[in-house]
Amino acid sequence: MGRQATAKAVERRRRKRAKATVSAATPSTSKSLGATATKPADVKSATRARAGKSAATESATKTATRKAAGGKNPAKATGKKPARKPAKVVGKNTTASAIRNAWDHVRGDISGLSAHPLTTYFLILVSVVLLTGLGLVMVLSASSITSYDGGAGSSFAYFNKQAMFAGVGLVLMYIASRMSLQFWKRTAWFAIIGGLAMQAAVFIPGLGKETKGNANWIGVGGFQIQPSEFLKVALALWLGLILAQKAGKMTTFGHAMIPVVPGVLAAAGLVVAGNDLGTGLVIMAMAIVCLWVGGFPMKYFLLLGSVLAAAVTFFVLSSQNRLDRIQAMLTGHADQSAADTMGQAWQSNHGLFSLASGGWLGVGLGASREKWSWLPEAHNDFIFAIIGEELGLVGTLVVILIFAVLGFGMVRVVMRSNSLMVQVATAGFFALIIGQAGINIGVVTGMLPVIGLPLPFVSYGGSSIIASLLAVGVVLSFARTEPGAEAAIAANRDRLRSSLAVLARKKRK
């Protein structure tokens, strides 16, 4: 028995040592293998134990805090609510980020489009085509009654002539746009001499024609030509050449004045001598803009400006008709005792009536009432009033917007060109087209006295639309000199030919 008890005691001690060895070796083995040797029940027990300790610690902390606050809730003791962390507004941040990204993309597209070498070219071309198309539609609408009532027997008489003039002008615009800068340099002197000769021809008996007191027409066959319209184009081109050649040399009176000032005075003087002060004012304004851009010396610039201003004042004060027009502009139909609405103010007042009756969206295309012989020159100088009546305020704003885009395209030509001749001539064409459009709109809206200037590309008149489209053709040729423009045009032409070839092959199949 004693031996058996001893053996059992030894066996128990051996088993205890083995268990101790295994328990000591288990953590290092588990750690080295990256696994957990603990059973799930043991894990739950350990988690509960830790949670209990955390809860006990938190409870102890709260108890201590309450004791420190006098046995009260610390939030109530201080009178302040515990601060909360601001929640993350995911929706607003996402929307703002999306808007920012979209704007960045749009801005990048606009920058890329603005930097394209053909952007200027197409801004000018598309604007002019839109204005010409709108002008044909409005001439048909505004002249239909006058044309039929005038003995033509057709409401399309004026429209057919205008469509023919527009076709000739578009062909000349295309031809002019293909010419090089060197061609315009060689042509400038011939243009100004030819323009002055044509303008002087209006004083030749039998050749010159007078229309409504204006002796600035030449009768050729069954057509009448107004040479002053072409003289304006020639003068802008010639001033660009002369001022570019004289750049940095206008230090003396002779260099500054000759031949610039005699050329300007000859052009304006011949036009005003034909009793057309409105066109003379446009020529003077165009010359001033060209001289300003061309770097004309300031002291001589002020001297020439003073001479032109004195000449305009003299011609206005010496004509009772012009004084009556200014008085009609200032009084209109507001003071019946000061102005006769059936006389001098008739045209201006009915232009305002036409604009006012159009409202926001107009009475409808072709539905004008003022064109029924109430508004004189409805298809010519006052066609903007018919646009306002039939297309409303929205229509007039669209027309102004298209002119603004055209002007912006011309400004781009001036700013992006390295040639002083291009800059000066384009500035002159800007004053010629955009300035004349502004004067016409100002006359129709009663802001300026009636001076008889058409709305470029829109009003009826063969000489006006042909000369205006010719001027735009010259500007388009200048726009083609922008770096990369010729290569881009050639690439577009090749792409168009390839597309047409593919379409032709599909049609044959």
- What are the DSSP calls for 482-498, one per residue? STTHHHHHHHHHHHHHH
Strand partners, 211: 214
Tell me what pLDDT residue 21 has. 54
Which run of H or E residues covers position 215?
A: strand 214-220
Query: What's phi and psi for 100, nearest 5 deg?
Result: -65, -40
Element (H, E) at 171: helix 157-177
Return the pLDDT at 344: 66
Residue 286 confidence (pLDDT): 95
**In what helix (H) or strand (E) does residue 217 lie, and over which residues does it extend?**
strand 214-220
**Phi, psi angle pair for 91, to nearest 5°:** -65, -50
Contact 275, 450 (CB under 8 A): no
Q: How far is Cα 441 from Cα 346, in angstroms, rounded to an integer? A: 17
Q: What is the largest CA-CA distance in the chain?
A: 165
pLDDT at 390 (0 to 100)? 95
Q: Give the pLDDT score at 245.
A: 93
Tell me how far apart the alpha carbons of residues 388 and 380 are, in angstroms, rounded to a whole number.
Answer: 14
In this structure, is the dihedral angle defined by the CA atoms of residues 247, 248, 249 and 252, taken in order, positive or negative?
positive
| pTM over the 0.85 mark | no
Residues present in the chain in total = 509
Amino acid at 106: V
Q: Is 208 helix (H, G, I), strand (E, B) or coil?
A: strand
Q: How far apart are CA 143 and CA 378, in angstroms?
A: 7
Q: Provide the 3-class DSSP secondary structure of residue 70.
A: coil
Residue 210's H or E segment, with its range, is strand 208-211
Binned average pLDDT, 10 residues per bin, the chain of 509 residues: 57 66 47 41 47 49 49 48 51 74 73 76 96 96 84 81 96 96 96 95 87 80 87 96 91 88 94 90 94 91 90 88 81 55 73 91 92 88 95 96 97 93 96 95 91 93 95 96 76 68 65
CA distances in angstroms from 420 to 182, 233, 416, 425, listed in the order given: 13, 17, 11, 8
Note whether 474 and 425 are within 8 A (CB): yes
List Cβ neighbours of 501 (8 Å cut-off, separation of 6 or more).
Answer: none
C-alpha closest to that of 311 among 268, 366, 250: 268
Contact 193, 491 (CB under 8 A): no
Provide the token pair at 257: 């004045």
**Contact (Cβ atoms closer than 8 angstroms) between residue 77 and residue 69:** yes
pLDDT, position 500: 65
Whether the ω angle into residue 259 lies within 30 degrees of 0, i.e. cis, is yes
